[in-house]
A and B are shown apart, each in its own frame.
Chain A
């Protein structure tokens, strides 16, 4: 019974039926096996699936332009279902854009695509939007495609202080998407007199209700500025560790409730935090919801300026279409429309004039169109070498308990 098949029945009709039934089941089994083999092949191809796609799209205009961006980082219509400026671009250029809010944070996005980048494969995106230091890492490792600036004439509209950055001299590989400040924010109901400096966060009366950002460059950068060190300059290891000591001390004595990423916004709203190190655009958005309950300021000692940059991965087959998209978004009129919605600093000169016709009040908002005076108060954290990045990030993470 255990080996071999049972003898076929004697009755010829029954015998035929059984044979047919077996035939069917065998065919089914074969089909199933083919399916399994197909799945196996698919699995085996997982690592290289990207490259196949790259070849498919090698023809150029074939597939849509795939853009990975952060959430709430492009103008939406009232219902939040479409992106007006992007729709206009698709209509004008005939290029379909597959827009995905797939960048949750720099590190985890990098973790997802770094293997393919290393192997020179298509990562499934033709345009990515990443923060300065991550952009620096991409350019250093030659993961970004060189842009043909003659095809992006509008890129000359870039603000002068963003045109020359230490990680991309002459902006050959990246273009700024939006910028923002890190500074201090507080709940005006709890702190009617406001705050002026990072040291004000350490006032004992706010014990356990202060939060700092888990972004090392912003938290440490602001404290370095408070300590009189310029994070953009040639600071020493001691300067950095002095700033970390401040964080460590206030974590240990319970002054700092939590070290947070984006979620500090919820803690401000719930009242668990009354003061924190924060990003400018978040507070603007939060105030729409809470009737201006929160205030944001660049500390007296200065704040940090960060930017997110558009890049084209090297293996992307649609660089030309991406350049067309960049050119479109560097049109002052379009840039103003985006800025009016996202509330971050637009990198495009002339957008302020264009904004005056969309929303004159926003055209005067220093958090979207910063004045010379504000720009002189903020610094960009200098680019770290890989060894520095590993050391400082590791130390910072250890201090904040991870």
Chain B
């Protein structure tokens, strides 16, 4: 109720949208066409494929249009662990990315404020990994985390890992890889939100005898919420469906994510219905989770 009325006032406070003429509508044509061809059509095909039935005695990959609803329970029964794991890994990676990325964004946006060169340099450092291929960077992590590498050596020396312990081909490696891959997507929206932070508000907090932690909790964090919401969404959503990290850095049993299953079913087994079912379920689950999250976090602050 409260939320709705807040949204209502926000709407009422906005200037009225200019009435669009036919020209404006014409400008929408490319966008609508694009969405129709590259979004609505594929999603429709995907939904239809998820209900296909195999041709009896047919060749591999031959399916016929049908309404075979049992595709859903069958696929979910077989692959629910991978589905749950994908959300768990993506959630863990998002939390780690937030914890690592927030201080980074804060330093760039607030501490380096006014020093244009330094700020620019730091932003470039965050974005720099994009200049090389995603796959190559993940393969590089394989080498960093290799059994004979420095990371594992140090962890063994510190007795964090037993002498025959390893990092690569474990869940930890996959979460580390996911975190690394999507960290820039966390840092950049946070940076954009924190850049607008008015330092006088922090001073005001101090003047009112708030401890730094309280000021952070009551002032900085709420003001950066749009960045937090955008950053977590931009990290979480692609991470759930990612399969590069889990196939390169994971093992074949306890780290398999749903993207790997979809890839294998689709390309190796030509089991299109199962792959489609899993894609649909993934999409719907993400949609539901994200909607719930955005409603809770408050969309009106996002603009």
Which of B37, B60, B164, B261 touches A137 (beta carbons < 8 Å)?
B60
- A270 and B143 within 8 A (CB): yes
A259 to B19, CA, bound (A): 60
- A400 and B21 within 8 A (CB): no
B230, CB-defined interface residue at 8 Å = no
A378 to B158, CA, bound (A): 48
- How many residue pairs link A and B with beta carbons under 8 A? The number is 96
- B264 and A402 within 8 A (CB): yes
- B59 and A141 within 8 A (CB): yes
- A2 and B19 within 8 A (CB): yes
A36 to B32, CA, bound (A): 13
Given that A386-B59, A394-B271 are known contacts, is A111 also in contact with B248, CB under 8 Å in the complex?
no
Which A residues touch B139, using CB under 8 A?
Answer: 266
State the Cβ distance, A322 to closest chain B Cβ, in Å.
25
Which of A137, A140, A394, A402 touches B256 (beta carbons < 8 Å)?
A402
A271, CB-defined interface residue at 8 Å = yes
- A1 and B251 within 8 A (CB): no
A22 to B75, CA, bound (A): 58
Which chain B residue has the least Cβ–Cβ distance from A400?
A: B252
State the Cβ distance, A309 to closest chain B Cβ, in Å.
18
Which A residues touch B60, using CB under 8 A?
Answer: 137, 386, 389-390
A401, CB-defined interface residue at 8 Å = yes
B13, CB-defined interface residue at 8 Å = no
A353, CB-defined interface residue at 8 Å = no
Given that A137-B60, A272-B168, A402-B256 are known contacts, is A397 also in contact with B264, CB under 8 Å in the complex?
yes
A272 to B265, CA, bound (A): 28
A394 to B78, CA, bound (A): 12
A256 to B60, CA, bound (A): 30
A243, CB-defined interface residue at 8 Å = no
Given that A2-B19, A2-B21, A272-B147 are known contacts, is A387 also in contact with B267, CB under 8 Å in the complex?
no
B148, CB-defined interface residue at 8 Å = yes
108-138 of chain A: CB within 8 A of chain B = 108, 110-111, 114, 137
- B263 and A402 within 8 A (CB): yes
A357, CB-defined interface residue at 8 Å = no
Which chain A residue has the least Cβ–Cβ distance from B26?
A: A29
Which of A263, A270, A386 touches B58 (beta carbons < 8 Å)?
A386
- A401 and B253 within 8 A (CB): yes
A267 to B169, CA, bound (A): 11
- B19 and A1 within 8 A (CB): yes
A251, CB-defined interface residue at 8 Å = yes
Which of A1, A107, A111, A266 touches B142 (beta carbons < 8 Å)?
A266
State the Cβ distance, A41 to closest chain B Cβ, in Å.
13
Which of B22, B248, B267 touches A108 (beta carbons < 8 Å)?
B267
A20, CB-defined interface residue at 8 Å = no
- Add 11 more A-B contacts to A4-B21, A251-B252 (CB < 8 A): A2-B21, A114-B61, A257-B251, A258-B252, A267-B142, A272-B147, A390-B60, A397-B265, A397-B269, A401-B82, A402-B256
7 closest A-B pairs by beta carbon, nearest first, are A402-B264, A2-B19, A401-B256, A259-B252, A270-B146, A271-B148, A401-B252
